[in-house]
Structure formats: structure tokens, C-alpha cells
Chains A and B, each alone.
Chain A
Amino acid sequence: MSIQDLTIKEASELLRRRKVSSRELTESALDRIRRENGRINAFITVCDDLALSQADAADKRLAGGDGASPLCGVPMGIKDSICTRGVRTTCASRMLEQFVPPYNATAVESLLASGSVLLGKLNMDEFGMGSSSEFSIFGSVKNPWDTGRVAGGSSGGPAAAVASGLCCFALGSDTGGSIRQPASFCGVVGLKPTHGLISRYGLVAYAPSLDQIGPITSDVTDCALVLDAIAGHDPRDPTSANREGEDYSQGLNRDKLPIRVGLPREYFGPELNKDVKNAVFKAVSMLEEAGSSTGEVSFPSTEHAISAFYLISSAEASTSLGRYDGIRFGYRKTGAKDLEELYQLSRSEGFGREVKRRILFGTHALSAVYRDKLYNKALRIRRMIARDFSEAFESFDVIVAPAYPETAFRMGEKTGNPLKMYLGDIYNVGANLAGLPALVVPCGLDRRGLPIGIQLIGKPFSEKLLLRAGYAIEKRVGRLRPPRAGEESSEGG
């Protein structure tokens, strides 16, 4: 039995009916990782022994029949920016190549408590900075639909791993589209929850006011199941929301979905690829079919969103990454002649180009001379963007956007041109700047056969509504699967 085509729900049913054991599922996944990871490069670290012992523990719980969680015994992968106790957490950086956290992120703790099995840690752009998962000291992640193309980023590893069936589901993190864009590129479901819905404890910071952990799954139901397990207040994260829990996985399938859908004029401009535009419009018509109404909305602040996002995220990164100085953590250059040189050499050699670029940019933006002109101005734009959204939500329940102006681009296509890479985040950064939930669901293929995702942005804590809308689209589009290299082998099916 392979897990490559099983959703969490399907795996969970087989596990409960004792048709398969967690050990079998886990062994099969590890075996598949062994064969496939060389091609996709989604995993940085695989923890065979730990996974098998967790699988055995899950089998015991399942045998006890104590109404275990639907996640019990189901194998997962975790983005390498999320701390796992005893398993190294590198952020795909030389800086943290040897870092083994003595604690689990709260979200990981919740999943392990549900009985999920940790297969290993997933590749990404260094410290989450990138949109292609090419900025990793462990090499680029390849898109399972076309290994000559990127998987998106920064959560490229999680998206590629789920799309190619290396794990049943994964956790990613999203600062400016880092879950949604790779989900779209790889044809899977990705959710960036409301800022504060999921504890950030144990998520290695990039830009704390924008960062959020979220699920990457095969379908919308799985997304809701993972959210059920990880959402909720955490006393260890003061910015986590203290509100009553919701049951996200119940009642996803509605016959009628009478919601008001807003299409921002600025999101469908000339930069948007035609195939993507058509697929998104088609998905919108599916929502109309389900009973929703559609209208146009304008976000005049959109043109400033990218600069505001890069100023704020880089400013926060410049302080959040200060701790990697070779003293307490991370890479230390030996042989420095004094403290100043120790800092300089450790940081110059420990960080990659893109991370250094943003640290310098952010340092500049916060400097006494430029803070008003750069950082404080960006904060004002951030408030304008939040206001644009909240005004739109007076007339609409959901805002629709593409997840990216195009489908997965070729390896190396944008690494030489950071500005071009940054501009692609245009539809994504708004949700982070305004702290809103945003769900990406596959909605079709382009003329090359590459997946396209539609993005649904909602009011704070409206995840359930987004999941229902996503479900309505998914029901009509169907699940997209990449062509698999191992498809013809004996292992298939």
C-alpha cells in the first residue's frame, strides 16, 4: 500500500478499519522518499527511526480504539523553519545547519499529540526569503509537475512533498505568500490563517508581524482537518488569539453558498497571465453556480503594497536575524582576530545572498536617518491596505485573487533579478499586511499542463467560510495530480 494518493481522510479511514497500519504507511512513505527525493529535493532531513517509533505508538492508540484524532498514524512533513525537538531545524541556512532545537513548535506539539508521524523536515528558501525555493544551501526544490521548474517558495518543500505524495500533509509558513504561491505552483491546497489563529511559538522568525504557520494538503477537507488540530490560543505566544475553538472540518460541503465575492480591479491587470486569469474567472463562475454573487472592488493601495511589504518584512528580518552572530547560535567563523571580525565573518559566510540583501535593506529602512522616509511610511501604507480590505468586507464576504501572476517558472529564471521576483508577490502580501486568512485551491491547468491556484481572502477568522468556498471549487474542478515518475512501477496505486 502506498500513501501517494491517500488524503488524510482516506488514510485515516483505512487506519481505523485496520486495513493498513501506521507502520505500513510510514514505511511506504520513507521508501518513496528514498526513491523520489533525489528528483524533487523536498526533504532536507528524514528521520526514519523516530518516524517508525511514532508510527508504532500511533498503531497502539488506534488499536485501543479510543476515538483517536483523524490525524493519528498519518505521516507528515514539517517545513524546516518550524522547530522540532531533537530534529535539526536549519531554515535551509548554513547559519543553522547544526541547530537542533530542544523544543517543539506548539503547532508541531499539537500534531504529535494527535498522533501524526513526523517523516522529516522540508526544504525552503533560506529563512523563508524567496519565492522559488532556490535559495537553499541544500539545493533547489523541483516542481513535481515539471522538474525543470521551481516549486515556488518559500514553502516549496512542503508543497512539492505533498504534490508528489512523499507525505500525506505538511506544515508551511507564510510571510508574504510563502504557503499560497508554492501551493498554486504544485497544484495543492494551502492556507495562510489569520495572524494569531495559530501559535508562532517555535516558528523561526523572519518577520513576526507577518509570519504565520499553515497547512499544505492534498485537498480542502484535509486542510480543515489539520487546522482543527493546530488552531487555538497558546499562552506561549502573546499574539495568538484567545477565542473559542471552531470545528473547521464539519459542514464543508454546502449545496448552497450564498456569499458575496469581490474581484479587485487591480488584481487582474496586464501583468496577469491569460491562462491564469481564465482559470480564476472560471472558478469564480463555479462559486456563482453554487449561489454566490460577484462584484468588482478597488484596492487603490495595491501599487504600494510590494514596497511596503519588503520594507516591513526586511526591517523585521534585520532585527529578528541579529541573533545569528556566531556567539550564541549558528555558524561561527573561527580564527577571527576580534569580536567585530567574528561578527562580520560569521554573518557574511553564514547567510546566503538573498538573506543578506534583505538584512541590509531592512537595516537601512530602520536607520535613524531613513526610518521616517522608509519604515514609518511603510507602516502608514500597511494601515491603508488594511483599511482597503476592511472597507471591501463591508460589501463582500470573500475577495478573490490569483495566487501568482503566472504558473511555475523555470529554474534560475528569476534568481538574477530580485525585483522581478518580488513583484510576483503582488496578490499575496495584502493578506499578510492586513493579517487576513487566505486560502489557495487548485482551479485548473495552463496550456503547458501546469497547475493554477485561486486565492480566497476573507475577514479575520473567517477560515471556515473560505474552506467552504474552496470546497465548492474543488468539488467542481476535481483534485489535480502531477504526472508521476513512479506511476508505471509495480508500486503504483
Chain B
Amino acid sequence: MEYEVVIGLEIHAELKTATKMFCGCKNEFGAKPNTLVCPVCLGMPGALPVMNMAAVEYAVRAGLAMNCKISSFSKMDRKNYFYPDLPKAYQISQYDLPLCTDGHVEIDVNGKYKRIGIERIHLEEDAGKLIHDAIDHGSLVDYNRCGVPLIEIVSRPDISSPEDARIFLETVKTILEYTGVSDCKMQEGSLRADVNLSVRRPGEPMGTRTEMKNINSLHAVQRAAQAEAKRQAAVIRSGGRVIQETRRWDDARKESFPLRSKEEAMDYRFMPEPDLVPLVIGQEWLEEIRRSIPELALSRVKRYIDDLGIPRYDAHLITQSRFLADMFETAAAACGNPKLVSNWIMTDILRRINEDKDFLAASGLDGQNLGRVMLLLDKGEITPNSAKEILDILAREGGDPDAITEKKGMRVQRDQNLIARAVEEVIAQNPKAAADYRAGKEKSFSFLMGKAMAALKGRADPVQVRELLLRRLKE
């Protein structure tokens, strides 16, 4: 491509605090319209906001996880505009003193690590939701979402391809999930992204950028960026100029439409929020929050590849969820063979998760018992089929892998006499097959082998059975 793409993302994530940002109303998705409201979040005359410190803590946690500086002193501001979903006619947000600044997030583009700068992360409240076409000649408003805490993550224009934009958003999403800050359900709108994009010829200064608002899937971000880069390049190629404007991405039609130009951009008339006191983050609290941050996905990916020899693709899949990654690590430690565990997760466990996305949360399977099943398998105490069967039982009702193995008689048979007796019986009962083999018909051997394994209920070491069978047939 003759043009370079320059992309910055603004990501809005709803924080999963128990209550809203400034009142005691529940922070929940999907309740009946206007049932999670009170005078404060409805902005009634005389009602005052009270800061939910959990929201501040979550925002700081996100900031620390993205390597930001945390402002020891920041404040809230009013962002003024009229819209029916905003009952106060201003959104409480942060203007010139955001909570977190100057961070970065590392992304892994097929084994190449890139660093994307984070300009700022600030705290703000969400607005309500307009429901169009529910009644004739008008719209209805649901204020349940009004006052739900949000963070806005503003990246620097460090992203150089639509694919990188998707990977960056995916990485941020994983960070927010690992830190427990947001559940990032894009289809419910709890994570949304604005794409700022411009193109330029290599070596030239930055081009005029456009902004596409509220894109709510990972792939839609990539598609929107691709389409917009193509559009801008075409405009320039045909001798035109890109206009600075806000555009709406229509993912169904795979194209974007102008929303408003720079001249029409709103003047939000920011003003310090006089109803709230400044936010002061003490060093002690900051350290406490820092300690609550787990090892993040990319750091684990690197460790799995370098220390445990796990393939990159597998490492990414396993670390997609913190729960699964934790499970893997516990199991790998219990078993001592990380590769075996990762292979089983990649095949067996991920299949179960694909069939039922809540599988892990509901099942009796955990890192400990998975690890012990893998250990039994690794030591040859059980066969792969038995391992599968035990995982089924654990998933259904939980339990102790060793006890299940014993109860079900799954332990691999190593008693020479027992195996010898079974082999003799098989030869005795199938004289024709034995004779055929001895006459040089190789195929008969696998028939006899199958019979012998069946007689041992599949729980003997096949190598051992094979050896004994061969010896007897040659006698």
C-alpha cells in the first residue's frame, strides 16, 4: 500500500462496580427500564453526587495495569451538552486533570512485540439509553445506565494497521478482564471504541484525521479501520482532501457515513464540578491497589513460550481468560508436564468451553484436579480414554481423580500373570487366527491384539500386551 495508516483508539469501558458512580443504585445490565434510578442519577433538583470510591479504585487499577502515572490529585469536571439521555444536561467527567496519564500497552503481533502509548485514562459517568420507535412520533428514555461508571482510555496515534488496532483493543480488553475492572461485554455495550484514523505517504507529516464512534466488536474495529483507510486513500488519490469530521460506522453495510464536521463540533464548556471535592490518591492506597493486580496475559504468554515451551498460538488461547490461564498454571504445577496440560486444554477443555461458554464456571473441574488427572496420564497410570472419562465425571460432579480411577477400575493393568493369562485365553479361544498369524498372515495379529485389550477392558499397557502376545504366538 502506498499510504501509511495512523490510528489512535478511544476506548470506553463500563466498570463493574456493584453500584453506580454517584448514588446507591445497582449497576446492572438488563433490568426493566427505569427501575435502577434515584433522585441523584436522575439529576433531580437539589440532589447531589457522592463519589463511589470503588470506581476510583477500578480506574486506578486499570491505569496501573497499563503502566500509567497515577495523579495524586485530580478532579471531576462538568461536560455540558443537551441530549435526552443526559438528565442533568452535563456529564460528570474529567477534563484537564485525568486520573491516569502517560502509560503504554504492549501488543503481540504474530511474535513481534509493539508498544502502544496510552495518553490518558479518565473517569466519567455513562448516560441513559434512547429507545426509538417504541411509540408513535417519539422516543422513550431508559435511565438505568445513567451514572454507571466508565473509564475512557485514550491511546496515542501509535497504531499502524487495522489489524494492530484490533489486537490492541483485544489486549486492552484482556487487561480489563484480568484486573476485574470491567466485564467487557461488547455486545452489551460495556466496551466500545472510537477509531481515530488518518493516512499519509511514508515520511510525510500526519494527515487529517476522522473519528468513527461507538464501534462495538473487535472485528468491526478492524473492518472500520480498513474501510476508512481505503476511503481516505481514495480521496487523496483522486486529488481531494480529507475533511476532519466524525463518522458513523455501519458494520452491516461495511461503510461509514459523515455525522458532523469539525466546524459543527460541540463546545462542551468544561467546568470544574463544584458538587464534588478533588480526588486525592494516597501512596498507601496506591500500593494496595498495585498489589491487587495479577500477572497479565502477555507476560504469561512470554513465560509460557520461553520457560514452558508452549507454542505461541496455544499460549495466547490459554491466556485469553485469566481463569483458564490460572487453571493451566495450577494444573501444570501439579502435573509437572506443562506441555501435556496445554495440549489437553487446547483440545479437550477448549472444546468444552466452545460448546458452553460458562462451562468452567459451572463445572467441578479445577486446576488441581485437572493436574492430577494429567499426572496419572503422564505416569501411564491411566489411558487417554480413561482421562477423558474422568474429566467428564469431574466436570459433572467434581471429585477426586485417584478415587474415581480406583472406583472405576481404570488403573492400567501391569500384572504380568494377569496379562499372560488373558493372552493365553485369547489364543485358546481363537485358534484359527493364531494359526493364520503363524502361517504369515500379519493382519491376524491386530485382531488378536484387539481381543486381548478388550479382555483387559482396555486398561493394560498396550506395549506390554503386544510383547506377551508376540512371545506366545512364536512359541
Chain A interface residues toward B at CB < 8 A: 82-83, 89, 91, 96, 99, 101-103, 105, 200-205, 207-209, 235-239, 315-316, 318-319, 322-323, 325, 327-329, 339, 343, 363, 366-368, 371, 375
B44: chain A residues within 8 A (beta carbon): 101-102, 329
In the complex, how many angstroms separate the beta carbon of A372 from the nearest chain B beta carbon? 12
Cβ of A89 and Cβ of B274 under 8 Å apart?
no
- Which of B46, B51, B84, B269 makes the CB contact (< 8 A) with A366? B269
Closest to B273 in A: A208
- Which of B42, B141, B271 makes the CB contact (< 8 A) with A315? B271
Alpha-carbon separation in the docked complex, A368 to B42 (Å): 27
Judge if B50 is at the interface, Cβ distance under 8 Å. yes
In the complex, how many angstroms separate the beta carbon of B421 from the nearest chain A beta carbon? 81
In B4-55, the 8 Å CB interface with A consists of 39, 42-51
Q: Is the interface of B mostly helix, strand, loop or mixed?
A: loop
Judge if B87 is at the interface, Cβ distance under 8 Å. yes
Judge if B206 is at the interface, Cβ distance under 8 Å. no
Cβ of A318 and Cβ of B269 under 8 Å apart?
yes
- List 22 A-B pairs, Cβ < 8 Å: A99-B45, A101-B45, A101-B46, A102-B39, A103-B46, A203-B46, A207-B274, A208-B275, A238-B50, A316-B274, A319-B269, A322-B80, A325-B82, A325-B89, A327-B87, A329-B44, A366-B80, A366-B269, A366-B270, A367-B267, A371-B270, A375-B271
In the complex, how many angstroms separate the beta carbon of B56 from the nearest chain A beta carbon? 13
A368: chain B residues within 8 A (beta carbon): 267, 269
In the complex, how many angstroms separate the beta carbon of B55 from the nearest chain A beta carbon? 14
In the complex, how many angstroms separate the beta carbon of A73 from the nearest chain B beta carbon? 27
Closest to B143 in A: A328
Closest to B89 in A: A322
Please name 17 further chain A to chain B contacts, defined as beta carbons within 8 Å, in addition to the given A83-B46, A239-B276, A325-B89, sorted by A numbering: A101-B45, A200-B48, A203-B46, A205-B45, A205-B46, A318-B269, A322-B80, A322-B90, A323-B87, A327-B141, A328-B42, A328-B87, A329-B87, A363-B269, A367-B269, A368-B267, A375-B271
Cβ of A319 and Cβ of B78 under 8 Å apart?
yes
Alpha-carbon separation in the docked complex, A327 to B49 (Å): 20
Which 9 A/B pairs are nearest by Cβ-Cβ distance?
A: A322-B89, A209-B274, A366-B269, A208-B274, A202-B46, A204-B45, A328-B87, A83-B46, A327-B84
B259: chain A residues within 8 A (beta carbon): none
B141: chain A residues within 8 A (beta carbon): 327
Alpha-carbon separation in the docked complex, A343 to B84 (Å): 10
Closest to B88 in A: A323
Closest to A239 in B: B277
A366: chain B residues within 8 A (beta carbon): 80, 269-271
Alpha-carbon separation in the docked complex, A368 to B265 (Å): 11
B89: chain A residues within 8 A (beta carbon): 319, 322-323, 325
B50: chain A residues within 8 A (beta carbon): 235-238
In B41-100, the 8 Å CB interface with A consists of 42-51, 78, 80, 82, 84, 87-90
Closest to B49 in A: A238
- Which of A205, A237, A319 makes the CB contact (< 8 A) with B271? A319
Alpha-carbon separation in the docked complex, A327 to B128 (Å): 13
Alpha-carbon separation in the docked complex, A442 to B44 (Å): 37
Alpha-carbon separation in the docked complex, A325 to B84 (Å): 9
In the complex, how many angstroms separate the beta carbon of A282 from the nearest chain B beta carbon? 39
Chain B interface residues toward A at CB < 8 A: 39, 42-51, 78, 80, 82, 84, 87-90, 141, 267, 269-271, 274-277
Alpha-carbon separation in the docked complex, A203 to B82 (Å): 23
Cβ of A323 and Cβ of B45 under 8 Å apart?
yes
Alpha-carbon separation in the docked complex, A358 to B437 (Å): 106
Alpha-carbon separation in the docked complex, A339 to B88 (Å): 16
In the complex, how many angstroms separate the beta carbon of A125 from the nearest chain B beta carbon? 16
B49: chain A residues within 8 A (beta carbon): 238
Closest to A83 in B: B46
A207: chain B residues within 8 A (beta carbon): 274
In the complex, how many angstroms separate the beta carbon of A84 from the nearest chain B beta carbon? 10
Cβ of A236 and Cβ of B48 under 8 Å apart?
yes
B47: chain A residues within 8 A (beta carbon): 103, 201-202
Alpha-carbon separation in the docked complex, A235 to B274 (Å): 16
Query: Of residues A96, A208, A323, A329, which shows the largest number of chain B Cβ atoms within 10 Å of its Cβ?
Result: A323
Alpha-carbon separation in the docked complex, A235 to B53 (Å): 13
B39: chain A residues within 8 A (beta carbon): 101-103
Number of A-B residue pairs, CB cutoff 8 Å, is 96
Cβ of B45 and Cβ of A319 under 8 Å apart?
no
- Which of A99, A238, A322 makes the CB contact (< 8 A) with B277? A238
Cβ of A201 and Cβ of B90 under 8 Å apart?
no
Closest to B23 in A: A236
A96/B45 contact (C-beta < 8 A), A238-B277, A316-B274, A319-B269 known: yes
Closest to A202 in B: B46
Cβ of A201 and Cβ of B270 under 8 Å apart?
no
Alpha-carbon separation in the docked complex, A26 to B110 (Å): 82
Alpha-carbon separation in the docked complex, A327 to B86 (Å): 10
Closest to A316 in B: B274
A83/B80 contact (C-beta < 8 A), A235-B50, A323-B89 known: no
B277: chain A residues within 8 A (beta carbon): 238-239
Alpha-carbon separation in the docked complex, A184 to B383 (Å): 96
Query: Of residues B43, B44, B48, which shows the largest number of chain A Cβ atoms within 10 Å of its Cβ?
Result: B48
A315: chain B residues within 8 A (beta carbon): 271
Alpha-carbon separation in the docked complex, A238 to B46 (Å): 13
In the complex, how many angstroms separate the beta carbon of B134 from the nearest chain A beta carbon? 16
A319/B43 contact (C-beta < 8 A), A200-B48, A238-B50, A238-B51 known: no
In the complex, how many angstroms separate the beta carbon of A460 from the nearest chain B beta carbon? 15
Cβ of A322 and Cβ of B88 under 8 Å apart?
yes
B276: chain A residues within 8 A (beta carbon): 238-239
Closest to B84 in A: A327
In the complex, how many angstroms separate the beta carbon of A376 from the nearest chain B beta carbon? 10
Alpha-carbon separation in the docked complex, A208 to B49 (Å): 12
B82: chain A residues within 8 A (beta carbon): 322, 325, 343
A325: chain B residues within 8 A (beta carbon): 82, 89
A367: chain B residues within 8 A (beta carbon): 267, 269
In the complex, how many angstroms separate the beta carbon of A381 from the nearest chain B beta carbon? 16
Alpha-carbon separation in the docked complex, A371 to B95 (Å): 14
Alpha-carbon separation in the docked complex, A89 to B47 (Å): 13
A238/B48 contact (C-beta < 8 A), A208-B275, A315-B271, A322-B89 known: yes
Alpha-carbon separation in the docked complex, A488 to B276 (Å): 53
Alpha-carbon separation in the docked complex, A204 to B46 (Å): 4
Alpha-carbon separation in the docked complex, A327 to B143 (Å): 12
Closest to B45 in A: A204
Alpha-carbon separation in the docked complex, A183 to B324 (Å): 70
In the complex, how many angstroms separate the beta carbon of A98 from the nearest chain B beta carbon? 12
B275: chain A residues within 8 A (beta carbon): 205, 208, 238-239
Alpha-carbon separation in the docked complex, A315 to B274 (Å): 11
A239: chain B residues within 8 A (beta carbon): 274-277
Closest to B22 in A: A238
- Which of B43, B45, B51, B88 makes the CB contact (< 8 A) with A83? B45
Cβ of A319 and Cβ of B90 under 8 Å apart?
yes
Cβ of B43 and Cβ of A323 under 8 Å apart?
yes
Closest to B275 in A: A208
- Which of A105, A327, A375 makes the CB contact (< 8 A) with B46? A105
Alpha-carbon separation in the docked complex, A315 to B271 (Å): 8
Alpha-carbon separation in the docked complex, A327 to B84 (Å): 6
Cβ of B48 and Cβ of A237 under 8 Å apart?
yes
B43: chain A residues within 8 A (beta carbon): 323, 328
Alpha-carbon separation in the docked complex, A368 to B96 (Å): 13
In the complex, how many angstroms separate the beta carbon of B40 from the nearest chain A beta carbon? 8
A204: chain B residues within 8 A (beta carbon): 45-46
B78: chain A residues within 8 A (beta carbon): 319
Alpha-carbon separation in the docked complex, A371 to B88 (Å): 21
In the complex, how many angstroms separate the beta carbon of B335 from the nearest chain A beta carbon? 52
In the complex, how many angstroms separate the beta carbon of B45 from the nearest chain A beta carbon? 4
